[in-house]
Amino acid sequence: MAFHRIPVTLTINGQKIVRDVEPRTLLVHFLRDELNLTGTHVGCDTSQCGACTILLDNQAVKSCTVLAVQADGSDILTVEGLEQEYLHPVQEAFREKHGLQCGFCTPGAIMLGAYLVNHNEPLTEEGIREQLDGLLCRCTGYENIVRSIQRAYEIMNERQNVQSQTAKGVG
């Protein structure tokens, strides 16, 4: 059975994308199969594992729960879009604190971490653990992931303090 295709316009990792998609295409499959953004992992297709987490209009979303046509007009950030000239603080912290284990949940954990460090103040261990409830990690018991997100939060605050002092002419 052939489906008609519907045009969608998205901004993905800062780049405007216009494509025709089948109405039943999940956003995770659109990202991976049509755009070759394979950093977003397919885990369960049932929203249980969180490996497919992306930022959709600055909200952490499991991309297996969204149809590509539902995201029309949205701004999407995937793990590939985090790193610019340097590693994003969350990527840096995951490297430093060994938040990378087998790698299965890592992209989703990093994207959730990016959301958390930008949207929660103060970011506590308890708050991180509560937010990680939707992420399935089979390796670690989440210890290094929690430490990584805490460290990313520290890095973000350190950078903001430096920028603030520089703007004031201090330093």
pLDDT given at position 83:
83
Residue 1 lies in a domain: no
DSSP characters over 88-121 = -HHHHHHHHTT--SSSSSHHHHHHHHHHHHHH-S
pLDDT > 90? residue 66: yes
Instruction: Give the phi and the psi of residue 65 in degrees, each rounded to 5.
Output: -105, 0
Lowest mean pLDDT among 29-33, 81-85, 107-111, 128-132: 81-85
Q: Which of 50, 81, 112 is the last residue of a domain?
A: 81
More confident residue, 64 or 43: 64
Please provide the average confidence, as pLDDT, over all residues in the chain.
91
Q: Find out whether 113 and 107 touch, Cβ atoms under 8 Å.
A: no
Examine the domain organization and report whether 92 and 66 are in the same domain.
no
Same domain, 161 and 90: yes
Q: Is the pLDDT of residue 140 over 80?
A: no
